[in-house]
Amino acid sequence: MKPVKILEKYIFPQDIYCIACGAIIDESRTYRLCDSCMKKFRWIKGAACKKCGKALGKEKERMALFGGNAAGICHDCRSRRHFFDGGYSCVSYGELEKKPLMKLKYAGDGYIADTLGEIMYDRLLPALAEDEGGCIPFDLIVPVPLHKKRQALRGYNQAALIGRVLAAKLGLPFYANLLRRVKATEKMSRLGASERTENLEGAFAISGRSADIAGKTILLVDDIYTTGNTADAASAVLKSAGAKAVYIITFASGSNFVPVSDE
């Protein structure tokens, strides 16, 4: 970050602004969101796909009507096999919900990761209370890595910033460098569906301590879930290195859209 930018942030502290719309807020606001954004955010609560974490919405109603899939699996996950075992997500991706991510990824507002980690923690606890009787089934937390060139440009990996906060809250070990991105992939937003899968082939590798993950249940952290291609490619590598199970958690998720960038 340029010195002028750092000075600006010191004189005009960013954390008094709503992380979505930028309205001035006071410290007491939950998740640094103004009341209006707090209400407008499409929070994913009960009706979520057990596999990828996306909101089921109307799909759930349809399933109830026609006695469909009681397990609560979304259409995407029923039509395609994933390498991960289950997932959680906090908000449905849209114009408003993407704003904190854009600030985190492209405006150097790293502090937003603290809030997103907190939101993930609050999403996870009730879900685990329901599914696991309150037990934490994960042994360690791993972020989806960026290629080192992209990380050098941004200065950090946003998924690692968020994951570190979440790991501290859950009291779990955090393996920031366990997965490596060994291929500088094209930005996914520029590619079609089949190109996206190809693009990720051989994209990830385990660095070093693969013995540490044998038989372990891993929680993989990323900022966005879209097609699941990234989560699949990373999970496949973790599984082939001996991981017992891989779960994913993302801040935002949605289907059939191409985000500005999912890197």
Question: Which residues contact Zn ion by CB under 5 A?
Answer: 18, 20-21, 23, 34, 37, 49, 51-52, 74, 77
Alpha helices in the chain (DSSP H): 3-11, 35-40, 58-65, 75-79, 99-106, 112-131, 148-154, 158-170, 193-200, 229-240
Name all contacts of 129-137 with Cβ < 8 Å and 24+ positions apart: 136/170, 136/172, 137/217, 137/245, 137/247
The distance of closest approach from Cβ of residue 173 to Zn ion in the complex, given in angstroms and rounded to an integer, is 27
Instruction: Write out the two tokens for 174.
Output: 């955090």
Rounded Cα–Cα distance for residues 240 and 254 (Å) = 28
Q: Give the residue with the Cβ less far from Zn ion, 117 or 254.
A: 254
3-state secondary structure (DSSP) of residue 234:
helix
Which tokens hold the place of 29?
Answer: 């606001």
Kindly tell me which of 72 and 242 has the beta carbon lying closer to Zn ion.
Answer: 72
- Residue with smaller CB distance to Zn ion, 37 or 120: 37
> For Zn ion, which is the closer residue by CB, 49 or 104?
49
Rounded to a whole number of angstroms, the minimum distance from the CB of residue 110 to Zn ion is: 19
* Tokens standing for residue 189: 């937003």
- Give the integer Cα–Cα distance in Å for 173 and 109: 25
Shortest gap between Cβ of 226 and Zn ion (angstroms)?
11
| Shortest Cβ 100–Zn ion spacing (Å) | 10
Least distance between Zn ion and beta carbon 54 (Å): 5
For Zn ion, the closer of residues 21 and 136 by Cβ is 21
Q: Which is nearer to Zn ion, 38 or 125 (CB)?
A: 38
Report the nearest approach of Zn ion to the CB of residue 95 (Å): 12
Cβ neighbours of 191 (radius 10 Å): 17
- Minimum Å gap between C-beta 217 and Zn ion is 19
**In whole angstroms, what is the distance from residue 225 CA to residue 249 CA?**
9
Query: Which residues, in sequence order, are bridge partners of residue 180?
Result: 205
The nearer residue to Zn ion, 21 or 191, going by C-beta atoms, is 21
Do residues 207 and 177 touch, judged by C-beta distance below 8 A? yes
